[in-house]
A and B are shown apart, each in its own frame.
Chain A
């Protein structure tokens, strides 16, 4: 497994776990009341930052545990990264447009923030899964 593939796995798992933790926190806090009344901002920021920090920490720990592992990156890694990011970006655009439209019709800030966060999470998951599939199978030939 190349260094880039390991990083892809770590970031994919961190994204899924962070979003899962966030949803669990919000649903736990709701306790029967309407979701827009649930305080969400701190949990959202902490899970986003937590996912980034956790990814860096796990990558660093793996690097320390296996210092002889190759950190080389080649043309195939770059092609997979570019195509994976391109695939994932579709959800970033969907999230941005959805957030803009929701703000224009004055939806609750809770829903705007959460639709954008959901789309970011889906972007990370879709891009990550696409990269893993390309590493495990093959790059598409168009």
Chain B
């Protein structure tokens, strides 16, 4: 069964908090295309664990400050 991703992220907020970093700058630093950064920000693409860590490292924050995954209680409420 094909399901939309439940992973959400704060990349856009983190970019603005880090000197209004552009999507192109972030893309270059993590080694992907700008379109991939856009897709991740919009929740249309779930990055690999390695790519997720690279994003978190750019912002110097832990992984769960960038990506969130709702638990079952949150989902049912």
Contacts and interface: CB of A to CB of B under 8 A. Distances in A.
Majority secondary structure, B binding face = loop
Interface residues of B, number: 19
Contact of B33 (A70, A139, A140, A141): A70
A75 B31 CA distance: 9
Q: Which 10 A-B pairs have the closest CB atoms?
A: A138-B44, A140-B2, A74-B32, A76-B36, A2-B35, A141-B5, A141-B3, A72-B33, A74-B33, A2-B33
A2 B45 CA distance: 15
A52 to B, nearest CB: 26
Interface in B21-39: 31-36, 39
Given A70-B33, A142-B2, 9 more contacts: A5-B35, A73-B33, A76-B45, A138-B39, A138-B43, A139-B44, A140-B3, A141-B2, A142-B1
